[in-house]
Amino acid sequence: MSDTQSNTQGDNPSRNPSNHPGNIQLIRGRWIFTGDELIDDGAVAIQADRIVELGRWTDLQAKYPNSEVVGSSQHAVLPGLINAHHHSNGVPNSLQGVDDDFLELWLFANIALQPQDPTLKTLLSAAALLQSGVTAVVDVTTISDSPEAGLTDLEGRLHAYEQAGLRVALTPGATYTSVLVHGEDEAFLASLPAALRQQLQALVPLQQSLSPATYLELVSDLVRRYQSHPHIKIWFGPPGPQWVEEGLLLKIVAAAEDLNTGVQTHAVESFYEKLIGPRFHGKSVVARLHELGVLSPRFSIAHGVWLSEDDIQILAATGASVSHNPSSNLRLRAGVAPLNQMLTAGVTVGLGMDGTAIGDDEDMWAEIRLAARLHRTPQLHTPAPSFSDILGMATVGGAKLLMQPDLGKLAPGYKADLVLVNCERLTWPWIAPEANPLHVVLMRARAADVDTVLVNGKVVLHNGQPTGFDLAAVGAELAAQLKAAPKREEYRALAQNLRPHLANWYANWEFSPPEPYAAFNSRM
């Protein structure tokens, strides 16, 4: 933004605001989208980390004449967007030569990825989220190795979120079963040619070195340590029902209830994950989770692509939430989730990018558009989500999933998490008076249009750049580390050699579901 567009009286952003505690700041916008209504030429008054008042710009300017002003008559102001499921992976897979594939094949191919410094890669991802207007994220990560190594990794990530100022529920998990294939590792291993089996056993640990008891203790200690933190929470993140034993899942949920924190897991993401339920439990995965008694408003699942109508009713009745991740579902050939049915049933649904946005750019605006367009049914008088529905998923839906009811709207008493979008490009060269401002912003905005983001009333993105760290320096340091790191050609070769065996294993699942469940949930 040029110098001629900046002044302290709010016709465009001033210098980086000072955020002195106790000071009233005015956040000015051409359009203020509160989550319930539109205020034309309005403003939001904030004090410290809370919203105090909303109203017309001229009224609030007169009421608070000495306030510092952020924003302008050329900005749209929205509640901070909430990314309900993510993996802050730093340099994306595509830049490391790992292409999209079926989920199960892609997961194993990730052994070829170069390790990245946990702080640097989290900063890189956090910057992309802030630059697309995300103010809160559920960041799911996997830990292994020794307790010391696991804690070091998590502390590195947490240090990054301290620097970035991004609100996070960091959600660590550990894999204890189904390292190779869902539920049948020993049989799969025995089916491999001897040379490939030896190569696999030499390179890939098939046993988790972090004991379940140590995992529970490590995460519980972090939950307690961060309980009073203004923008960091710790959740439990069992990777998926097939990756943890049911006894451990029960202990995780009990610990989360005792500590008043959340649990998020992946569930029924792929077609083959759908088959896990009838193959091993004689019922759907969600029905089995319900039978175990783990579903509640503190429990959320990522994806839910293959939910049945009965599953949806279970989620609605228990209050468990779903993060809808349309980009990831398409990129990993998982399918299209029954979003319309979930919304109709009253399931709490958030919107997540999963670290695999459709353009590989972590642009939440593109995710909003994809979700809005993907679920428009092709016949009249049939369901189709509106832009308001999808924005609700990315704000109040995500807030409910996060168990933070003071997020997701612009209203007095709510947290001061706000996004300012410059509307000059969006409305150029002309906008009709009758054009719907919300539709214009959600249809046309890109990450590049976001110039200011506040979390807890603090400016964490200014002029499109993070205020807590030097993004260019982070990128340069991370690139230098990756360039100097040993190549993982053996792992890449292993993934390539194992791929046809994995594909054949799951192909056999398609044609031999155990009786009497052959017709279970035949939706394709």
What tens digit of pLDDT does each residue of 42-90 get?
A: 999 999 999 999 999 999 999 999 999 999 999 999 999 999 999 999 9
pTM: 0.94
Q: How confident is the model at residue 237 (pLDDT cuts 50, 70, 90)?
A: very high
Mean pLDDT of 151-168: 98
Return the pLDDT at 515: 43
Return the pLDDT at 7: 31
Return the pLDDT at 524: 34
Strand order in the sheet with 232-234: 232-234, 167-173, 134-142, 81-86, 348-351, 321-324, 299-303, 263-267
Mean pLDDT of 303-329: 98
Return the pLDDT at 46: 98
Superfamily of domain 3-78+412-468: Urease, subunit C, domain 1 (2.30.40.10)
Least confident of 4-8, 226-230, 410-414: 4-8
> What is the CATH number that goes with domain 81-401?
3.20.20.140
Q: How confident is the model at residue 14 (pLDDT cuts 50, 70, 90)?
A: very low
> What residue segments make up the domains of the chain, in order of their start?
3-78+412-468, 81-401
User: pLDDT, tens digit, for every residue of 455-486?
Assistant: 999 999 999 999 999 999 999 999 999 999 99
Mean pLDDT of 449-455: 98
CA–chain centroid gap for 91, Å, is 16
User: pLDDT, tens digit, for every residue of 492-515?
Assistant: 999 999 999 999 999 999 766 544
Residue 356 has φ and ψ, to the nearest 5°, of: -140, 60
What does each C-alpha distance from 357 to 117, 271, 327, 331 come to in angstroms?
22, 20, 5, 8
Average per-residue pLDDT for the chain: 93
Q: How confident is the model at residue 523 (pLDDT cuts 50, 70, 90)?
A: very low
Residue position matching structure tokens 């307690």: 224
**By the 8 A CB rule, do 355 and 86 touch?**
yes
Closest CA to 454 of 37, 172, 134, 209: 134
Q: How confident is the model at residue 12 (pLDDT cuts 50, 70, 90)?
A: very low
Return the pLDDT at 511: 65
Return the pLDDT at 145: 86
As a whole number of angstroms, the distance between CA 474 and CA 494 comes to 31
Q: Determine the 3-state secondary structure of 201 from DSSP.
A: helix
User: pLDDT, tens digit, for every residue of 422-433?
Assistant: 999 999 999 999
Return the pLDDT at 516: 39
Return the pLDDT at 251: 98
